[in-house]
């Protein structure tokens, strides 16, 4: 999902004012009149959300803090900015302790809000880029057969084709065929190029090895102890 600013506030004037401010600055925006309305619309895809969430603290029904608590329980990584007309220090401390990005008092300074959102936006764009790259890498791995995953795991463990053939009790020609097919499925010109893409996605080789062949990963850990 592309980054988007989500506004949650029961005051229609505040929602409309923020909508105009943010859309004028070029941000895609979606508004919700309550925390419950936001939850109903987004609960099934919280792990896909990116961008920024701007939430009023005190609203009928769920408060902003209640919404934050539920998001924390669901491990939602969406950055959250609180807006409040009651700038009480204990509220701000608790909000920041639970991971809020900022706590701003109404009427909010538009320039400060835009500066804060821009900082968050750059980080979120990078998070989306990494998530898309990770999905691409993992989708390629899902296309591999069990035997191709074994060949890839042994290759990543440093074995050449003759050694892979001996380990899997296959001919070298069969191993070569598996390697050619798995590279096609991974859409990579070489194993090294694919591994670079994997690491660029923020993934690490031990994790990859464990996913491809848990038993091989355990053996490797045993050799290193």
Contacts 24+ apart (CB under 8 A), 187-192: 187/140, 188/140, 191/152, 191/155, 191/156
Q: Would you state the pLDDT for residue 156?
A: 82
* Residues 34-80: tens digit of each pLDDT: 999 999 999 999 988 999 999 998 899 999 989 999 999 999 989 99
- The top-level CATH class assigned to 143-224 is mainly alpha
- Position 178 confidence tier, pLDDT thresholds 50, 70, 90: very high
> Where are the domains positioned within the chain?
4-134, 143-224
Report the DSSP beta bridge partners of residue 54.
Answer: 7, 81
Q: What is the 3-state secondary structure (H, E, C) of 91-107?
A: HHHHHHHCCCCEEEECC
- Torsion sign, CA atoms 166, 171, 176, 182: negative
The yes-or-no answer to whether 4-134 and 143-224 have a common fold is no
**What phi and psi, each to the nearest 5 degrees, are found at residue 216?**
-65, -40
Topology (CATH level 3) of domain 4-134: Rossmann fold (3.40.50)
Calpha distance 72→67 (Å, rounded)? 9
* Residues 140-151: tens digit of each pLDDT: 888 999 999 999
């Amino acid at each position: 999902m592309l980054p988007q600013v989500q506004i949650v506030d029961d005051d229609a004037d505040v929602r409309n004012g923020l909508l105009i401010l943010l859309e004028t600055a070029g941000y895609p925006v979606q508004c919700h009149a309550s925390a419950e309305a936001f939850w109903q619309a987004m609960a099934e895809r919280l792990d896909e959300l990116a961008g920024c969430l701007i939430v009023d603290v005190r609203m009928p029904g769920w408060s902003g803090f209640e919404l934050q608590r539920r998001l924390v329980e669901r491990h939602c990584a969406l950055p959250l900015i609180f807006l409040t007309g009651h700038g009480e220090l204990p509220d701000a401390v608790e909000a920041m302790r639970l991971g809020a990005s900022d706590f701003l008092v109404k009427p909010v300074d538009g320039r400060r809000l835009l500066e804060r959102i821009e900082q968050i936006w750059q980080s979120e764009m990078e998070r989306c880029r990494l998530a898309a790259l990770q999905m691409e890498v993992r989708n390629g791995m899902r296309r591999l057969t069990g035997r191709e995953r074994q060949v890839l795991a042994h290759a990543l463990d440093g074995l050449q084709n003759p050694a892979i053939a001996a380990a899997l009790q296959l001919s070298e020609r069969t191993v070569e065929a598996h390697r050619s097919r798995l590279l096609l499925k991974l859409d990579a010109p070489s194993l090294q190029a694919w591994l670079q893409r994997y690491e660029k996605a923020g993934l690490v080789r031990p994790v990859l090895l464990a996913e491809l062949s848990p038993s091989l990963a355990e053996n490797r850990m045993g050799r290193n102890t």
